[in-house]
Protein backbone atom coordinates (compact mmCIF):
# COMPACT_ATOMS: atom_id res chain seq x y z
CA UNK A 1 0.00 0.00 0.00
CA UNK A 2 1.42 3.38 -0.97
CA UNK A 3 1.15 6.41 1.23
CA UNK A 4 0.32 10.00 0.38
CA UNK A 5 3.99 10.98 0.06
CA UNK A 6 4.61 8.17 -2.43
CA UNK A 7 1.66 9.33 -4.54
CA UNK A 8 2.84 12.94 -4.50
CA UNK A 9 6.35 11.87 -5.44
CA UNK A 10 4.98 10.03 -8.48
CA UNK A 11 3.14 13.19 -9.62
CA UNK A 12 6.00 15.59 -9.01
CA UNK A 13 7.74 16.83 -12.14
CA UNK A 14 11.29 18.03 -11.57
CA UNK A 15 11.72 21.76 -12.17
CA UNK A 16 14.56 23.02 -14.34
CA UNK A 17 17.41 24.79 -12.62
CA UNK A 18 16.45 28.10 -14.27
CA UNK A 19 12.73 27.90 -15.06
CA UNK A 20 11.13 30.29 -17.51
CA UNK A 21 7.99 32.21 -16.61
CA UNK A 22 5.25 33.47 -18.94
CA UNK A 23 3.10 36.20 -17.41
CA UNK A 24 -0.44 36.68 -18.67
CA UNK A 25 -2.28 39.93 -17.97
CA UNK A 26 -5.47 38.13 -17.02
CA UNK A 27 -7.52 41.31 -16.66
CA UNK A 28 -6.82 42.21 -20.30
CA UNK A 29 -7.49 38.63 -21.41
CA UNK A 30 -10.85 38.57 -19.60
CA UNK A 31 -11.80 42.03 -20.91
CA UNK A 32 -11.21 40.88 -24.49
CA UNK A 33 -13.08 37.65 -23.81
CA UNK A 34 -15.97 39.64 -22.27
CA UNK A 35 -16.29 41.66 -25.46
CA UNK A 36 -16.51 38.54 -27.60
CA UNK A 37 -18.98 36.85 -25.22
CA UNK A 38 -21.12 39.96 -24.74
CA UNK A 39 -21.06 39.51 -20.96
CA UNK A 40 -18.56 39.65 -18.09
CA UNK A 41 -16.06 36.78 -18.40
CA UNK A 42 -14.52 34.76 -15.57
CA UNK A 43 -11.51 32.47 -15.39
CA UNK A 44 -13.89 29.60 -16.08
CA UNK A 45 -14.63 31.11 -19.51
CA UNK A 46 -11.04 30.70 -20.70
CA UNK A 47 -11.26 27.77 -23.08
CA UNK A 48 -9.32 24.56 -22.67
CA UNK A 49 -7.86 25.23 -26.11
CA UNK A 50 -6.44 28.57 -24.92
CA UNK A 51 -5.02 26.97 -21.79
CA UNK A 52 -3.49 24.22 -23.93
CA UNK A 53 -2.01 26.87 -26.22
CA UNK A 54 -0.42 28.63 -23.23
CA UNK A 55 0.85 25.32 -21.86
CA UNK A 56 2.42 24.55 -25.23
CA UNK A 57 4.46 27.76 -25.41
CA UNK A 58 7.47 26.04 -23.90
CA UNK A 59 7.55 27.99 -20.66
CA UNK A 60 7.92 26.13 -17.38
CA UNK A 61 5.40 28.23 -15.46
CA UNK A 62 2.39 30.33 -16.45
CA UNK A 63 1.53 33.17 -14.05
CA UNK A 64 -1.95 34.69 -14.29
CA UNK A 65 -1.55 38.33 -13.24
CA UNK A 66 -4.44 40.46 -11.95
CA UNK A 67 -6.80 37.67 -10.98
CA UNK A 68 -8.10 39.49 -7.92
CA UNK A 69 -11.22 41.62 -7.85
CA UNK A 70 -10.63 45.33 -7.41
CA UNK A 71 -12.41 47.29 -4.71
CA UNK A 72 -14.56 50.42 -5.00
CA UNK A 73 -11.62 52.86 -4.70
CA UNK A 74 -9.73 51.22 -7.58
CA UNK A 75 -12.88 51.17 -9.69
CA UNK A 76 -13.51 54.91 -9.04
CA UNK A 77 -9.88 55.66 -9.93
CA UNK A 78 -10.17 53.68 -13.20
CA UNK A 79 -13.31 55.62 -14.13
CA UNK A 80 -11.61 58.93 -13.26
CA UNK A 81 -8.55 58.05 -15.36
CA UNK A 82 -10.62 56.98 -18.35
CA UNK A 83 -12.70 60.16 -18.20
CA UNK A 84 -9.63 62.39 -17.89
CA UNK A 85 -10.53 63.65 -14.40
CA UNK A 86 -7.17 62.63 -12.91
CA UNK A 87 -3.82 64.04 -13.91
CA UNK A 88 -1.29 61.45 -15.03
CA UNK A 89 1.57 63.24 -13.22
CA UNK A 90 2.77 62.14 -9.80
CA UNK A 91 2.28 64.38 -6.83
Q: What would the pLDDT profile of 35-63 be if each residue is shown by its tens digit? A: 999 999 999 999 999 999 998 999 999 99
Helix (H, G, I), strand (E, B) or coil at 69: coil
CA distance 48 to 12: 22
Q: Inform me whether the pLDDT recorded for 89 exceeds 60.
A: no
Instruction: Evaluate whether 65 touches 20 at the Cβ level (below 8 Å).
Output: no
Stronger pLDDT, 45 or 86, i.e. the higher one: 45
* pTM, rounded to two decimals: 0.58
- Other C-beta atoms closer than 10 Å to the C-beta of 10 total 8
CA distance 68 to 79: 18
Instruction: Identify the pLDDT of residue 25.
Output: 93
Average pLDDT, the chain: 83
pLDDT band at 88 (very low <50, low <70, confident <90, very high): low
Locate the domains of the chain by residue range. 18-83
Q: What is the mean pLDDT of residues 67-83?
A: 80
Amino acid sequence: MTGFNDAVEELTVPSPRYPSLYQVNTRVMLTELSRSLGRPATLDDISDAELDRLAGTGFDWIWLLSVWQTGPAAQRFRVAISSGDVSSRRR
